[in-house]
């Protein structure tokens, strides 16, 4: 197999998990044809800047070893995907908690990009995360990291760049920060739950759940609107902590 073709395919295997796999990351909202163009452009850049001597000769000659090299590059690409998927997953988990507490967990909206249903609060919060991601230029930082990874982790080496300990530490930090984004909403709804619990003891004949549901919906959206105005620094910290866990991101 031609060496140029091998490098091109290995580069596509590295960049595909981030750009093409539907996930919770902000790039999932980018149109598919734009992501295909980005994937092709990055693979061509890799073809022009990769060290051809780093590609072992037996990789180009053995389909089995070529498949192993493709799997290794996919693992490297998955570490890049973690930098965007984990922050958005943390925000989605926190939003799901708000959905459960506010009583709108059964309601959902259709996401035309991924053709899946999403929660009401989850959609609002993940849109906020996407806006912060692009407004702060973090997508540029991510693309620079993809390009610089070709020097730090050469094409064909397939080295995993995140240790299990780093991943577990990042996982706990991300979900704690995601919870902090919606903590005022959760505390406000909890206070309403305490009030309705006391009212249900005073009026046992009333169906207090349906009586309090409009109040909880109004309070949930009001508190969320007030909270999101202070959320961008926390959302930025979510992404930058994830980027800092990847050595090739340069600690951005």
* pLDDT grade for 19, boundaries at 50, 70 and 90: confident
* pLDDT grade for 188, boundaries at 50, 70 and 90: very high
Tokens of 73: 């590059």
Q: Are the CB atoms for 239 and 174 separated by under 8 Å?
A: no
Q: Are the CB atoms for 72 and 78 separated by under 8 Å?
A: no
- What are the domain boundaries of the chain? 3-245
Per-residue pLDDT reduced to its tens digit, 199-216: 888 777 777 777 888 888
Question: Does pLDDT of 159 surpass 70?
Answer: no
| Inter-axis angle of helices 208-228 and 63-102, nearest 10 | 120
Lowest mean pLDDT among 20-34, 116-130, 208-222: 20-34
Per-residue pLDDT reduced to its tens digit, 61-80: 667 777 777 887 888 888 77
Closest CA to 80 of 10, 141, 32: 141
**Residue that the structure tokens 């595909």 belong to:** 16
pTM: 0.77
* pLDDT grade for 56, boundaries at 50, 70 and 90: low
Closest CA to 208 of 196, 218, 226: 196
What secondary structure does DSSP assign to 104-171, as a single string?
-TT--EEETTTTEEE-HHHHHHHHHHHHHHHHTTHHHHHHHHHHHHHHHS-TTT----S-HHHHHHHH
Lowest mean pLDDT among 205-209, 216-220, 237-241: 205-209
Q: Rounded to 5 degrees, what angle do the CA atoms 242, 9, 1 make?
A: 150
């Amino acid at each position: 197999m031609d060496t140029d073709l091998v490098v091109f395919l290995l580069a596509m295997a590295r960049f595909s998990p981030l750009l093409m796999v539907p996930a919770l990351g902000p790039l999932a909202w980018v149109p598919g044809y734009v992501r295909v163009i980005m994937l092709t452009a990055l693979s061509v850049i890799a073809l022009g800047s990769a060290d051809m001597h780093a590609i072992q000769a037996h990789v180009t000659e053995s389909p089995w070893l070529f498949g192993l090299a493709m799997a290794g590059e996919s693992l490297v690409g998955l570490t890049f995907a973690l930098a965007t998927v984990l922050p958005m997953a943390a925000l989605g988990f926190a939003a799901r908690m708000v959905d459960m507490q506010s009583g709108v967990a059964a309601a959902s909206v259709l996401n035309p990009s991924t053709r899946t249903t999403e929660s009401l609060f989850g959609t609002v919060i993940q849109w906020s995360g996407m806006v912060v991601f692009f407004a702060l230029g973090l997508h540029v930082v991510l693309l620079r990291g993809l390009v610089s990874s070709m020097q730090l982790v050469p094409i064909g080496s397939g080295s995993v760049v995140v240790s299990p300990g780093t991943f577990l530490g990042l996982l706990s930090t991300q979900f704690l920060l995601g919870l902090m984004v919606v903590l005022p909403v959760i505390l406000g709804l909890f206070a309403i739950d305490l009030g309705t619990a006391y009212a249900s003891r005073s009026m046992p004949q009333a169906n207090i759940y349906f009586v309090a549901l409009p109040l909880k919906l109004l309070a949930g959206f009001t508190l969320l609107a007030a909270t999101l105005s202070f959320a961008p620094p926390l959302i930025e910290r979510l992404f930058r902590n994830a980027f800092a866990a990847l050595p090739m991101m340069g600690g951005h």
